[in-house]
Structure 1
Amino acid sequence: MPELEESITAVREGAKEDRFTYLTILQCHVATPGILPTLNEVLQNAELAQEIGWDLVQMLLDIEGSDACLETVARLGNPREVIIKVMEALEGLAVAWHDEVIIEDERPGVPPDSKIPGKFITLLGLLAILLRRIKTRYPSRFLASSLVKVFEAYQPTMEMTAVVVNLVRSLSGEKRPPLPTRSSSIDVANPDQDGDASKNAPDPEAEQEDPKEEVLQQKLLQSFTTCILQRYVNAHAMHWSPRLLEVYHPEKLVPGRKTSTIAYREDDTLQKRDAVVGQLVALLRDLGLGSCPKSFIKSIYTSSRANIDPLGSFEDCNFPDDIHLSPGGLVCLIAYWIFSTEVFGSDNPHPDMHIFPEHLALLEKFLGEEAQAEISSSPGIADALLAIGLGVEHREQTVGADGTQFMAYHHRLTLISVFHPDIQVRNAATTFAGIILHSDSDVQNRLEILEDLLENCMFAALKACAVTWLKEEITAARKEGVTNIFAKPDVIERLQYAAFPDMISVAALDTEALLEFWRQNSAFLLQVANFAFFLFTGDFKNLVPAGMAAAVEHRFSEPLILAAEKLEKAGVVDGEDSMQLSILTDRLRSLGLH
C-alpha cells in the first residue's frame, strides 16, 4: 500500500522537524487508515509528547481508533496543558449535544448515529489519567473545573453514567473490590484502571499538595456525584414507588396484570437501569455518604438550593463548607436506600425520619409553590419523595400532627397523583394518599379532607378518589364496629351536595359543551354512580337521610341520564366514551330511586 507507506515515512521522519512543521505533517497524514500504530510508536518519545501532545487532542479525537494514541498523550504529555484541551473538547461536546439532542417524552436521548457518547467516554478516560498525574499545591482547582465541564457535556445514558462512575472511582481511589460481572453490568473503557500507570511521565511542575486538599476534593466528588444521580434519576423511570407499593401492599395488585417488579426482573435494560443507580449509590458511600441521621435530613429541607445545580459555584470554592451537595440527588439517595433494602435486601443506612415533620418538610421543599412545574421537570425526584414516604409510613415511624399539617401532607401527595407524567407513579401516589388518609386517628381530619376534595378540587380523577375513600371509610366503620361520623347518616347529609352535584344545568348544554363536560368529568361521574349504587341498593341504606333518594334522582340521576342520551343520539361518542356512557346510564337506572 504505497499511500500507507508514504504516510508512515512522513510520520516517522517528520518528528525530526520543528514542532509546528510536524503538526502540519500530521494533519495531512494522521487520518490515513493504518497510520495510528506508527504515530503511537513515535509518541513514546516523552519529549515529543510533552511538546505537541496538547495540540493532538482535538485532531485525534475525531479519528476512529485513536484511543491508544490519546492515552499516550495523556500519560506522557504535559498534564496541565493537555487537560486544558480535554476540557475544551468536553465543552465542544456540550455544544454539539444541544445541536443533536432528540427529546422523547421530554426525556434526554441519544441519536443512534451520534459519536458524542464515544468521544465522552474517551475524554473521561484521559481526564482520569491527567488529574491523577497533576501534582500541584491546589489540585482541587483543576478538579473543580474539570467536573463542571464533564457535567455540562454529560447526558444521562447508561454508558455515559458508567464512565462517570469510573472517573470518580479513579479520582477517589478504589475502596471496594470490583463487583462480579453480571448481565446487568455496563462495561465501558477505563484506561486509568486497565492501563499501565507506570508509563505515566511525572508532572514537570510538581508541587507539594496543601494538607486541606484531600477533604476539599472529596467534597467536590460528593457534590458532583449527587448531581449526576439526580440527573440520571430524573431522566429514567425508576418506578421506585410503584415497586415499593407492590412489596408493601400485595393485596392491591390487579390479578393478571404484570407488576412493575416482574417487569424489572425480566427486562435486561431495566435491570441495567437499576444497576447504574446502584453503582452511583455505592460510589457515594465510598465517598463518605453512608449514614442518615436527622441532621442529614434536615440539611436537605433547610437548604436554600432545592433545585439549583451546585456545580455552578465549584470554581469559587476554597473550603469544604463552600461546596454544596445536590438536595435532589440526596433525596434520590435516601429513596434508593429504602427501596433497595426492601426490594433487593441490601444493607443500607436507616433514615432517621418520620412523616411529620421530616417527610412533610421534604415535600414542601421540593414541590414548592409551582408543584406542577416541579413535578413535570423533576419526575424522578417526585417518585423518590413518594418512595421515601412509603418506606417511612411502612415502618410506622409516624408522630402526631394537627389537622393543618395532615391536610397539607395529603394535599402534596395528591399533587403527585395529578401531575406526575408516569401513570404508575400517579397510581402509587393515589394509593398512598388513601393509605395516609385512612391512617389519621382524627376522624374529623379525615372528613374535612374528603369534604375539601369533593367541594374544591378541580381534578375529576382526584374527586373520584375522594368518593372511593369515602366509601372505604364507611365500609371500615361498619367492619370495625366503630360509631364515628362515618357510621352515621350525618356524613351523607353533610356531603350529599358535593358527592351528588346538581346536573340539571348540565343536561341543558349544547352537544359540543356537553361532550367537553363529559370528557373532563367522566371519571368522577362514573365513581359517583358506583357510590350511589353502593349507598342506595346495598347494606348501607340506613345511612341515607330521609328524602335524599328523591332529591338525588331529581338533581343528579335523571339529568345525567338525559345528558348521556343526548350525546348518544348526537353520534358524537364512540369507543371507550360510548362504553362508559352506557355503563353510567345502566348503573343510574338500576338505582330504583323513583
Structure 2
Amino acid sequence: MAEEESPLMKALPPESDYLTYLTIVEYNLTQENLPILHKVLQDQTLTTNIGWDLVHLLVPHLPDSEQCLQDVARLGNPREVILKVTESLRLIEHGESDDAPEGPIDALAGATDSRARAESSTYPVKTAPTESAGTRPGSSQMVERPPPPPLAVSQFIALLSMISILHPRIKTKYPSRFLSTTLQAILASFSNADSHREELVLAIVKVVKSVMGIQRPALPSRRSSGMMSSAPTVTADAVADPEGTVAAAAELSPEETAMQLKLLQSFVTHVVEEYMLNLPGEDDVPGMAWCSRVMEKLHPERVIPETPTFSKRFGEEEKLHRRIDAIGQIVTLAQDLKLTDKALLSAARTVEKVPAATHDEDEPPASADDIPLSRLGSLLLYTSSRAASILYDTGKLASNEPFALFPDHQDLLKYCLSSPAHGTGTLGTEPEALVDAVLVLGIVCLEHDTIGEPESDEQFNEYLQITALLSSNCPSPTLRGHAHYLTTTLLRSQPDDNARLAFIRDTLEHCPFENLKVSAVGWIKGETIEANPPTPHSHYDQHEPSSIFATSLAIDSLAPFLFPSLHTELITAPLQDAWITFQTNVSFYLSSLNFAYLLLCAKHLHSKLGVADLWQNTDIAGSFLQPLRDASARFKTGMDGSGGLEDEKTDSAVAELSLLDETLERVTKAVRFLNES
C-alpha cells in the first residue's frame, strides 16, 4: 500500500478529530505501518494531543516501535505521557517467554548432520568491516550477534529511555512528585525481572544520570561481559512543557532540589539491594565473592596451587564479570549522587521503625528527611567501597569513615543480619551476597588491625557467637570458611585467656550445632599446643605469666563437654534414635578422639596438664570410648540382616563407622604412653 493510501495518512486531522484518529491508529497499527506513524508523529500538535494514549499501543510492538515511542517522549505532553509510561512499567510481564518460531526448532530437531546442526544453532550472522577496511574499501567479515533480548527487557529499556527525555521536560514547581512515582514504578518492575538484570541496571543508571543532568558518560562495559546497551540516544530536540509556566521554569527551591537528590539516592540504594540480594548462588559464588577475592589478594600464599581463584573467575567468566560491570556502574552513580560513606554507614546501622507495608506509594514525601535510604543497600554500597580499596588499590580506605570491629561491625552484624537478639533467629540463611558483604567488612578490619575496644567480655562473646553461628549455619561452604576464619582470628586476639576459655566452654556446653563444637575442639587444641611448646622458651618462664591453658585447669573444666558420657544416648536409647544422634555428632566425636590422642602422645603434656588424672577421673575410657565402640558394633549389626538399619547402609555410613573404629583403636593403643611418662 502506498504511503498516501494509508489510513494513518488519509485520516489525519482535520479530516477526523483526535479521538477518532486515535481509534483509527489502534485498528491499523502494524509493524509495516510503524514508519508511517513515525512520520505522522513529527507533528507536534498531533503528538501533544494523542501521544499519551499511544504508549500502551506501541509498547507491545517493541523493539520496532522504539522510534515512535521516542517521538511521543519528545513531543507529547510530558505530564500525561509520564503517567502512561509509569503505568506501562508496572504492567511489564517479566518471566513470560516470547513465542519463538517453530520452524528453526523443528528443522534443528530433524537435522542429523553435525555441521548442519551447528550452523542452525549459532547466533544470527551479520557482516562487519574488517581491520583492513581502511585500505580495502568494502571488505567485510562475518560476525556473530547475540539474540535479541526478551520483549519484557526491551520494554523496560525503552520506557526508561522515554523517562530520560520526559523528566527534564517537566517544568513544575514540584517535579519531585512526578519523580517519586516514577522511581517507585521502575523499582517495582526491576524487582520482578528474572533475567538480563545487568542490562536493566545499565538502563537505570542512564535514566538517573539524565534526570540529574550528570554529564559524565556511563562506564563502558568490557567486551567480554556481553552486556547490551540500552536504547539509542535521541538526537532530535524535545519540545518545551506545554503546561509549564515562567515561574515553574525558574530555578527550583533548595528544598525541592534536596528532595530530588534524596529520592535518587534512596532509589539507588534500593536498586543495589534488589540486584545483589537476588544474585544466583550457583557454583558456590556468594554474591560478589568479596571475602574470597580480598583474602586471595591479601594472602596469596593460602591459595591452593593449580586451582581457579575467585579473582580469576570474575575476570574470565562472563556471567561473573557482568556482576562487576553492573556494580561498578551503580557505585560510580552513587558517587555522582554524593552518597558519602558516612551517610551509607549511618543508614546501614539504623533500625527501621515503620514497617514498609504501611507506606503509601501514592503519598509523596514531605521533605528530604522523610526519604530513608535502604538499610541493606547502603551496607552493600559501603562494602563495595571498602572491598574496592583492597582489590583495586584505590587507596580510599584511609579516607573512609572510621570503622572498627567494635562497635561498628558488631552493629552491622546485629542490625543487618537475623541475629538471635535482634532478628528472626535465622542467622546464616540470609542471601549469600549479604552475608559475604558483612563478613568481608570484618576481615578488612582484622587485616588493618582496627579492632576497637569491646566494652565488656559479654560484648566480645556476643560478637563471637554471631560469627560462630554464621560459620555453622551458612549453606555456602565458602562463607562458612570465612566466618570460621573471622571467629578464630578474633578469639585468638583476646589477650585474656580466661575469656577465651569461657567462650570455648560456652560453645561446647550450650551450642546445638555439631560443626561449631568441632571448631571449639580445634580452638582448645590450638590453645593447648601454643601454651605448651615441647621446648619452653626461657624468657617465657621468667617474664610471662603462666597461661591457664598451660595448667590442668582448662582441660579439667572442659573435660565433661569434650568427652561426655555417651552410654544413655548411644547404647540404651532405641536403635533409630541412637543412630540419628550418632549421625548428628560423629564429626564432634572424631574431633574429641583426635584431641585425646594428642594428649596421650604428647608426653611433655602429661605432667603439666595432669593427663593421667584427667583420664581416670573423667573415666574417658569407660564413659566415652567404650560407648562409641559398642555403638559402632550395634550399628553394624543393625545394618546387616533384619537389624532395623538396613536402609541406612550406604558407602558413606560404612566408611564413617570404619573411620571411628580405626580412631578408637589408635587412641586405645596410645593409652600406654601414660605409663611411660
TM-score if structure 2 supplies the norm length? 0.79
> Compared with structure 1, are the counterparts of its residues 190 and 272 closer, same or farther at alpha carbon in structure 2 (3 Å cutoff)?
closer
In the TM superposition, what are the counterparts of 1:555-574 in structure 2 within 5 Å? 555-571=623-639, 572-574=648-650
Is 1:119 aligned with 2:173?
A: no
Whether contact under 8 Å (1:223, 1:326) holds in the other structure is: yes
Give a deviation string over 1:489-514, Cα, whole Å, max 9, x none. 22111101111111112332333223
Give a deviation string over 1:254-292, Cα, whole Å, max 9, x none. 5554332333233121111122112111111110024x3
In the TM superposition, what are the counterparts of 1:191-230 in structure 2 within 5 Å? 191=231, 194-196=233-235, 198-206=236-244, 207-208=248-249, 209-212=251-254, 213-230=256-273
Shift of 1:300: 3.4
Whether contact under 8 Å (2:469, 2:516) holds in the other structure is: no
Give a deviation string over 1:178-222, Cα, whole Å, max 9, x none. 43552355644444x7211x4211100112353222222111111
**SS of corresponding position for 1:194:** coil
Shift of 1:127: 1.2
Residue matched to 1:549:
615
* AA aligned opposite 1:183: R
Give a deviation string over 1:495-547, Cα, whole Å, max 9, x none. 01111111112332333223322332223222222222222223564235333
Tell me which moved more, 159-168 or 249-258.
249-258
Shift of 1:29: 2.0
Question: 2:370 is matched with which residue: 292, 302, 322?
Answer: 322
* AA aligned opposite 1:381: L
Shift of 1:115: 3.0
**SS of corresponding position for 2:216:** coil
Shift of 1:253: 4.2
Whether contact under 8 Å (2:198, 2:227) holds in the other structure is: no
Structure-1 separation of matches of 2:10 and 2:482: 69
In the TM superposition, what are the counterparts of 1:142-181 in structure 2 within 5 Å? 142-155=178-191, 157-181=197-221
Whether contact under 8 Å (1:8, 1:35) holds in the other structure is: no
Structure-2 separation of matches of 1:315 and 1:493: 65
Question: 1:383 is matched with which residue: 421, 436, 442?
Answer: 436
Shift of 1:132: 1.4
Structure-2 separation of matches of 1:449 and 1:242: 27
The structure whose Rg is larger is 2
Structure-2 separation of matches of 1:527 and 1:246: 29
> Compared with structure 1, are the counterparts of its residues 314 and 502 closer, same or farther at alpha carbon in structure 2 (3 Å cutoff)?
farther
Is 1:13 aligned with 2:10?
A: yes
Whether contact under 8 Å (2:157, 2:200) holds in the other structure is: yes
Shift of 1:477: 2.2
Structure-1 separation of matches of 2:502 and 2:621: 26
**SS of corresponding position for 2:654:** helix
Whether contact under 8 Å (1:335, 1:388) holds in the other structure is: yes
Question: 1:364 is matched with which residue: 403, 414, 419?
Answer: 414
**SS of corresponding position for 2:459:** helix
In the TM superposition, what are the counterparts of 1:279-318 in structure 2 within 5 Å? 279-290=329-340, 292-293=341-342, 297-298=345-346, 300-304=348-352, 315-318=363-366
Is 1:243 aligned with 2:293?
A: yes
Structure-1 separation of matches of 2:25 and 2:352: 52
Residue matched to 1:49:
47
> Compared with structure 1, are the counterparts of its residues 313 and 529 closer, same or farther at alpha carbon in structure 2 (3 Å cutoff)?
farther
Structure-1 separation of matches of 2:5 and 2:634: 85
Whether contact under 8 Å (1:300, 1:327) holds in the other structure is: yes
Shift of 1:39: 1.1
**SS of corresponding position for 2:620:** helix
* AA aligned opposite 2:210: S
Structure-2 separation of matches of 1:440 and 1:215: 46
Whether contact under 8 Å (1:535, 1:544) holds in the other structure is: no
Tell me which moved more, 577-586 or 162-171.
577-586
Structure-2 separation of matches of 1:330 and 1:8: 58
TM-score if structure 1 supplies the norm length? 0.89
Residue matched to 1:109:
none
Shift of 1:173: 2.4
Question: 2:464 is matched with which residue: 393, 407, 410?
Answer: 410
Structure-2 separation of matches of 1:5 and 1:558: 97
Whether contact under 8 Å (1:147, 1:224) holds in the other structure is: yes
* AA aligned opposite 2:439: L
Shift of 1:583: 1.7
Shift of 1:343: 1.4
> Compared with structure 1, are the counterparts of its residues 462 and 188 closer, same or farther at alpha carbon in structure 2 (3 Å cutoff)?
same
Residue matched to 1:105:
none
Residue matched to 2:675:
none
Question: 1:420 is matched with which residue: 474, 477, 483?
Answer: 474
Provide the aligned C-alpha RMSD in A. Answer: 2.7
**SS of corresponding position for 1:316:** coil
Shift of 1:333: 1.5
* AA aligned opposite 1:199: D
Whether contact under 8 Å (1:184, 1:275) holds in the other structure is: no
Structure-1 separation of matches of 2:81 and 2:563: 73
Structure-2 separation of matches of 1:275 and 1:298: 26
Structure-1 separation of matches of 2:469 and 2:215: 42
Residue matched to 2:547:
484
Shift of 1:7: 10
* AA aligned opposite 2:339: L
Is 1:516 aligned with 2:516?
A: no
**SS of corresponding position for 2:42:** coil
Structure-1 separation of matches of 2:214 and 2:358: 25
Structure-2 separation of matches of 1:358 and 1:450: 24
Shift of 1:306: 9.9
Structure-2 separation of matches of 1:154 and 1:180: 22
> Compared with structure 1, are the counterparts of its residues 202 and 160 closer, same or farther at alpha carbon in structure 2 (3 Å cutoff)?
same
Residue matched to 1:134:
170
> Compared with structure 1, are the counterparts of its residues 220 and 62 closer, same or farther at alpha carbon in structure 2 (3 Å cutoff)?
same
* AA aligned opposite 1:119: Q
Structure-2 separation of matches of 1:434 and 1:496: 21
Residue matched to 2:517:
463
**SS of corresponding position for 2:413:** helix
* AA aligned opposite 2:443: L
Is 1:527 aligned with 2:591?
A: yes
Q: Which runs of 5+ in 1 are unaligned?
A: 101-111
Whether contact under 8 Å (1:417, 1:429) holds in the other structure is: yes
Shift of 1:232: 1.5
Tell me which moved more, 548-557 or 127-136.
548-557
Structure-2 separation of matches of 1:194 and 1:185: 21
Q: How many residues align?
A: 573
Shift of 1:377: 4.1
State percent identity of aligned pairs: 30
In the TM superposition, what are the counterparts of 1:433-512 in structure 2 within 5 Å? 433-479=487-533, 483-508=546-571, 509-512=573-576
Structure-1 separation of matches of 2:149 and 2:347: 43
Residue matched to 1:108:
none
* AA aligned opposite 2:264: L
**SS of corresponding position for 2:338:** coil
Structure-1 separation of matches of 2:471 and 2:4: 65
Residue matched to 2:318:
268
Structure-2 separation of matches of 1:14 and 1:187: 43
